[in-house]
Every structure is written in structure tokens, then in C-alpha cells.
Chain A
Amino acid sequence: MMRTVGRSVERRGAKDVVRGKALYADDIRVDGVIHLKVVRSIRSHAIVKEVDTSVAELIPGVVKVFTSKDIKGSNRYGIITKDQEILVERKVRYVGDPIALVAAETEAIAVEAARSVKVAYEDLVPFFTIEEAKGCTTEPIHEDGNLLSSRDIIKGDIDQGFAEADVVIEETYTTSMAAHGYLETETGIGTLDERGRIAIYVSTQNPHYDQDDVVAALGLRPHELRIVQATTGAGFGGKLDISVQGLIALAIQHLKRPVKLRYSMEETMQAAAKRHAMVMHYKTGARNDGRVTAVDVRLTLDTGAYASYGLAVLSRAAAHAVGPYEVPHVRVHGELYYTNRIWAGAMRGFGVPQVSFAHEGQMDSLAKALGIDPFEIRMINALKPGSTTATGQVLHASVGIGETLKRVKDAKERRERNPEKRHVKVRPWVKSGWGIASFWYGIGNTGLPNPSTAQIHVDEKGEITLYTGAADIGQGSDTVLLQIAAEALQVSDKDLKLIRGDTGLTTDAGATSASRQTYISGNAVKSAAENLIQKLAQEASSQLTVPLPEIGYESGEFKGGGKTVTMRELAKELHQKGQIPIGEGRFDPPITLLDKETGQGIPYATYTYGTYYAEVEVDTGTGEVSVEHVIAAADVGKAVNPANVAGQIIGGVAMGIGYALMEEFESGKTRSLTDYLYPTSMDVPPVEVIIVEDPEPSGPFGAKGVGEPALIPTAPAIINAINKALNTKILDLPAKLERVMKTVLKSPCSGGI
């Protein structure tokens, strides 16, 4: 019987949050702090001829104005491709590129001075679309050209696959850029700490990466910089990149004074990564019995001015392009282009929300063409243990896609039998429909090592502390990792202290991305706990003079030969001997690199699966869509904290409603939350959460991950429901009023349930 894992224990830090006591970076007060403000490009693609800071520097209260000349290191950063500069040197690549940095005694003075920095530009030909980027004959955005990368996946023989097909569906789907929409903007505050290090308290998803890249960019030595993750007001991928960290470190390096930088919401919109817009051409063939025989996909991604996580998004999109189905013949080709739009990076789902819109659109089209029920056609093709994926990976266990389909179907039928639940509205112009969508999501980085490490320490009083580099950005990893540690140590999670996300005190746990912290850091934490027990058992063996194999451990006590010694006693003893009881853990998921030409290999050790159902009502007079009900089933392996899993799923549904119907980030136009609208409490329907637990043998207590997966199938389920309501086919996200109205006007008759 598990005592902590599987229970909705109280979230660590929740009491501080509800009392307004949690310290986000903007809440940390340091005397004599200097305020920073970034001078940003107003051109899309231009040589910077001159940066004139003379007027700004004369303004009383201005301490210094920095340009790239003040940077002593490489001035380059980027998680995969080092193509971004802390302050640009030669040219700007989008409206928002950082050119200079003002340091002043107050924020108001910094803002004013930033306005008086004069920049002389010489414009280059800009590339605003992928077509323009492809046809470039002038100076490309980056030296190596506008094509950043491509990816292929080849399984079987695509021609044979189509030869075997009785029906072929071919469509082109598109999605827009989207914004993360977190309420806490990028913020950090830094000081020189007692050891003379630059210590930055910052809103981040990736403290150890921040440290590595800032150190290199500024020519610091690793021990001269410490990154501490402050309480973080969400990230969704947007705080994986460096934002304020390098600028704050630069200012402290020169001024030796505390400094602070907080992006305004407008700046977050203008100068932080966005979700990649994609064009997805799909050709899918199936036999009359519903079996998919071939999937041929061409993906084109716009990564904007900088690579950021673009390559990871491309790789993951390609690996997930066929959806959670077993398809014998697959060909995927994806290309990633630079343009002079705002840069795109990681956002919840890394390309999978995009491709799932396409593969689930294809599934529904096939179902319609073949006269097969949408649940049925997915069931026929769903992955199961023993299946081979598009990358040639044979799945062995924890493949719960079929179960999620079954459970959603049951819930839907239950709902239909219960007439009270289905209020009938007599408005003939309102059409209703339902739709489903399934997904899969590989946990951890795609075909790349991504280890996590952790330590558990016992002090002389027996107090246990978990050290993890994993950033909790609101998704709940603090609580989940404590639960895993507590379970492995057979103690209460309340008895454990936590030190997290501090490069001065914790070791690298990898990024809070790819929904990897529960599975990967969870495993590292679990092995740290086991290592601690093992070490203490050795000490118990010598103290109790009982051979090690006879020492048993239970709930903080070591027993053997009829004698007992507690963890606390052992720890005290060890401390007195000058030995520190500390358990070390590390986990790197068992994956293989993917073949360069065929993309074959094991990209992920495990996958989360799920199926969502959505009911919509469409007002055919206005194009307005309202989502009436959602049933959401996800196979998470094991829900370490069920309330938390439900929270992720319901939050993912809300974000998915925005992605489906409202959210379109227009580079150069969208300014703030005034014109980037996302769901409020009035836009969300009741969500029925179904947690499926098909345990993952390699997961900590069977767990996989849920953070990103929770979002993925929402938009496709909603679009499939609209398609059913209107008897149409929507190919572009988001389905804003105008787009829906266009299809209403085109469709000769509107069906529905």
C-alpha cells in the first residue's frame, strides 16, 4: 500500500500563495537596487549603424547605458543553436531585438532614458513568410541561410502503403503563432552575494542552463554566477529561454550593485518566444476496414528570427506526426525556417498540439469517408503493447490509448442516457456537435540524453532535505518530487524539507520541459532515496553487528537481529564521525539517437496517451462557438497527486479552448492582453476528468507525465465537433468567428447531433 504517492497531499507552498507571501522575483526587495530597461529594435531586419547613448547618459539618475561593446564573452546564447545575442552586435532580426540596456536609479528614469537612445539602421530585405524566406536572394537572416534544419522519418514503403489503401485523404492544415499568456512577466533581481558571486533570483524553467549560457556569453567563470529560481508565475515553455538573466548579470558585472529587470506585459508579448506556426500537408490512406496503411506528411515550421527550441519542436512534431496509431508505411519530412517575425520556441506540447490538429482531422475524415464511427476507427488503429511506432520503436507496456478511448466512450454514453445533463435549446440557428481527439506524447527530450540528478540529505537531528535542480513553475513538481521521496523513504512528505532550483545548492535536473520532471527527476529522486537507505543500512549493519543482507528498513527504522536503530540515530552517529549521510540519484531515460536519414530509433522511453471529447454549440448567425462539455481521459501511468493531475488537465483544456477558438498571435501587431484574448472563467465548460493508470514499469511508482499532454487533444476535439455540427471541414487554427462563418456560408447543409 502506498502512503503518499496517489494521494492529493497539500501542495508545497500553497499556504504562502493564498496569503500573498510567496516571493516571486518582483516581490524580492533589495536596498539600493538599480533598474534596467532594454532598448529594442523597431526594424525587422537591419544593420545597426550606430547606437548613440550620449543623450540618455546625461539624464540625471542614469547610471550607465550598455551596448554589445560592453560584453566580454561570446555574447551568444541559445538552448540548441547559439544564434542569439545578449545585445545585438551587427544587425537586428525582428522588431524587439535588444540593442542597448539602460541602468538607472528608478524604473521611470530607465524608461525615459531608453527612449532617448538613438539607433541608426540600414534596412535589409526582410522575410515575413516562409515563402519569402525560401526564395531569399539577398542577405539571409543568419549566415548559414534561412533554412535552419530538416527532419525525416521513413518507415516501410510509402508507395506500397498507398497501393494498399482503398481511400486516400489529402489536406493541408495550418496553425497560427500563439502566446504563452502567463501573468508573471519575465523578471529577475540580482546582487553580489556574500561570496562575491553574481546571484540572480529569477522567474525561470531552466536554472542550470541559464547559468551555463550566461557564463559563456558574458565571459564569466562558472563559480561567478548563481541562478536561483524564484517562485515562478508559470512558464508553459516561455521561460525556458534566457530573457532577463544575461542582462542582469551584465549590469552587475560592471556596476557591482544590485539590479532588477522586469519585462512589461507588452515586452513579454513583443520579445519572448511564441508557439511555432505550422503548415502541415497530410496524405493518409486506409483500407475499407478502417486500417490506416500509409501516412505521408510534410511539415513547414516558422521559427522566426531565432532558433530557440525550434529544432526540438521540429523533431518532436515529426516523431508524433502520425498520432497514437500503428501505421505500417510512414514518410514524414519537416523543414524549419527562419523569418523576420518574432522568434518561436517551446510552448506546451512542442509541436504536438499542431500535428494533433492535423492527424485527428485526418482520422475524422477517414471515419466519414469509410462510414466508421470516430471511436471505432481510432480503436482499430490505436497503439498497443507490441506495436511498432513510426520511428520503429516497439512498445512494451503502459500503452493506455485504447483504455482512454473506451472510458471516454462510456462516459459519453452515460451522459447521453442522462437527459437532465443535456439541456435542449430550441434555437434553430444554433447547431450542436461532438468530436473526439486522441494523442500521444513522448516524455523527455526527443532522441537525446536528458539526465536528472538529485540528492537527499539527513542532518544530525535527523531532518531530511531533498535537493533538486528541478524548477517548479506551478505545475507542481516540488510536491510530486517530495511525494516520491517520501514514498521511497516511507515517511510523510510533510517531514521533508526542500531545496530546489538553485545552481549554488542543487545539481542539474534538466529543464522543466517535455513533461519530464515527474518521470525523469522523479526517478532520480527515487534512486537518491534508495541510495540513502542503502548507505544508512550499511551503518546500521555495523552498529547492530548484523550482516547487511539481514538489515531491513521500514518507516525510518533499520531492523536486524531483533534490534532496531532509527534513521535519526544513524545520522547523528555519522555526523559525529564527520560523514554526511547523503543519497545520490541520477536517471537518464533509456533512449537511442534517431537515424539521421530515416528517423528510426527510440526517441522516448515512455509515452502519455489520451482521448478528449468535446461538445460544442455553433451560432450559425455569428460564427460563435461555445464549448458545452468536455470529457478528458489521460493515461498518466500513475497519478502521484490526483488533484494536481486533474488541475493540469482542466488547465490544459482551457488553454486548448483558446488555441482552438481565440488565440492568434500576430507578429508585429499583437501588443498585450488587450488584444491577445484567452479564456476567462466564462468561456470554460465543465470538464469531466478521467485518470487512466496503466503503470509504466520504468516510471517512479509507475508515473509518466501530464503537463503538456493535458493541452494537446483539446483543440482537435473541438474542431472535430464544429465540423460535425456544421458538416464542414475546418483546416486552419484558430477557428475564430470569421473562419467559422466562412465555413457556415460555404456548407450547403449543416448536420449535427
Chain B
Amino acid sequence: MRDIKISFVINGEKMTVEIPPNISLLDLLRDHLGLTGTKKGCGIGECGACTVLINGKPVNACLVLAPQINGKDIQTIEGLGTETSLHPLQKAFVDKGVVQCGFCIPGMLMSLKALYNECPVVNQQEVKKAISGNLCRCTGYQQIVEAGESVSKKGRNKR
């Protein structure tokens, strides 16, 4: 199969690459762009470890064919906060001792980022729902939900 050329914005940066047309977005990120923060768990859309945002919405990168992102805006864990200035969600995860093995964590954070893209005020139930497609075998979710909710802007949640 011949390589095809696609252009997209990734973590705020414009990019054009030539890639085989049959690879997944996950393999594009991990194997071609070196963005290994997005994890490969099941590879079949069941675990959420590969969650990234396309135009602000969460998707399982293992289920998306790379050419589908042509012209889209992609955000991965590498675009969330920096070493010196963590995103509030990242900071909450660190401060509240949420991380165990950590393999689910990038995906969890991206799902929560998507939630906050929609609404800055959320409650625990909404946080639980937002991460319901992200499996975690270690934490039992409670500390993740608490950390996820802790960055919600205070105020009435009318949704």
C-alpha cells in the first residue's frame, strides 16, 4: 500500500506526515510521532488507555484510522500541561495520590479534559460517567473521581 499524506494539528502544532493508510491513530502517535504517553492496552476499544481528543472530543485512538484525522485538531497527554506548569487535573492527580501503576492515567486525564471542555462545573456523577470507558484495575476509581471533581469551578451545576 502506498503511503498517503495527511495534515493535522497536534497539541497546537501543525504537522504533515506521510504514512501507510491502514495504521491506527494510536500507532501513528506512538510509532511514527514518538508520542508514547498515549498507551496501548487492549488495542480493540475496550479499555480507554489510548484516549485522545479529536476536536476536543474523546476517542479511543486504537479504533481510529490515522487518515481520518486529516484536517483535525488532536490533543494528547503530551499537550496537557508542562513539567513546570502541570494542568490542574494533573496536579490534582499528583496531590491526591491517585496514581498507582499509572497505565490508565493518561487516558483518564484526557477523558476528564474532554469533560471540562464541555462544562467547567461538574459533579461526581458526571466525572464517573466521563471516565466510564476508561478501565483502571488498580485504584477502584474513587480517588480518581475525587481528584477529577476537585478542579471543578465552584457553583451550581444545572445539568
Contact = CB atoms under 8 A, between A and B. Distances in A.
Given A18-B86, A233-B101, A651 B135 contact: no
A182 interface: yes
Interface string A628-672: 000000000000010110110011111100000000000000001
B11 to A, nearest CB: 11
Nearest to B82: A19
A675 to B, nearest CB: 10
Contacts, number: 175
A745 interface: no
A476 B99 CA distance: 9
A678 B97 contact: no
B140 to A, nearest CB: 3
A646 B143 CA distance: 9
27 contacts: A8-B97, A10-B95, A15-B83, A15-B86, A17-B102, A18-B86, A18-B105, A18-B106, A19-B90, A20-B77, A20-B78, A26-B36, A29-B36, A183-B101, A183-B135, A184-B41, A236-B137, A643-B96, A644-B97, A650-B141, A651-B100, A651-B137, A651-B140, A672-B42, A681-B144, A682-B129, A684-B141
Contacts of B137: 180-183, 234, 236, 651, 655, 678
A232 B43 CA distance: 18
Given A17-B105, A652-B140, 6 more contacts: A11-B94, A19-B81, A183-B101, A474-B102, A679-B140, A681-B144
In the A-B complex, list the 3 residue pairs whose CB atoms are closest, starting with the nearest: A20-B37, A474-B101, A643-B97
A15 B94 contact: yes
Interface of A: 8, 10-11, 13-15, 17-24, 26-27, 29, 180-185, 231-234, 236, 264-265, 473-476, 641, 643-644, 646-647, 650-655, 672-674, 678-682, 684, 686-687
Contacts of B40: 26
Interface string B20-59: 0000000000100011111111111011010000000000
Contacts of A26: 30, 36, 39-40
Contacts of A20: 35-38, 76-78, 106
B39 to A, nearest CB: 7
B70 interface: no
B17 to A, nearest CB: 17
B104 A183 contact: yes
Interface of B: 30, 34-44, 46-47, 49, 76-78, 80-81, 83, 86, 90, 93-106, 109, 128-129, 131-145
Contacts of A652: 140
A183 to B, nearest CB: 4
Nearest to A682: B132
A29 B34 contact: yes
A232 B137 CA distance: 13
Contacts of B46: 672-674
Interface centre among A647, A682, A684 (most CB of B within 10 A): A647
A10 B94 contact: yes
A233 B36 CA distance: 14
A474 B77 CA distance: 20
A21 B83 CA distance: 10
A474 B36 CA distance: 19
Contacts of B145: 681
Contacts of B134: 681
Contacts of B133: 680
A499 B30 CA distance: 27
Contacts of A13: 99, 102
Contacts of B141: 650, 654, 680-681, 684
Nearest to B94: A14
Given A29-B34, A184-B103, A474 B93 contact: no
A687 B102 contact: no
A24 B30 CA distance: 12
Contacts of B78: 19-20
A19 B138 contact: no
A541 to B, nearest CB: 41
Nearest to A656: B140
B132 A11 contact: no
B89 to A, nearest CB: 8
B44 A17 contact: no
Contacts of A265: 41-44, 47
A11 B147 CA distance: 15
Contacts of B86: 15, 18-19
B140 A183 contact: no
Given A19-B83, A26-B36, A680-B135, A473 B44 contact: no
A319 B80 CA distance: 49
Contacts of B99: 11, 13-14, 17-18
A286 B78 CA distance: 61
Nearest to A22: B102
Contacts of B36: 20, 23, 26-27, 29
Nearest to A671: B44
B134 to A, nearest CB: 7
A183 B143 contact: no
Given A651-B139, A651-B140, A686-B142, A673 B42 contact: yes
Nearest to A182: B137
Contacts of A653: 140
B140 A18 contact: no
A265 B50 CA distance: 14
Contacts of B41: 183-185, 265, 673
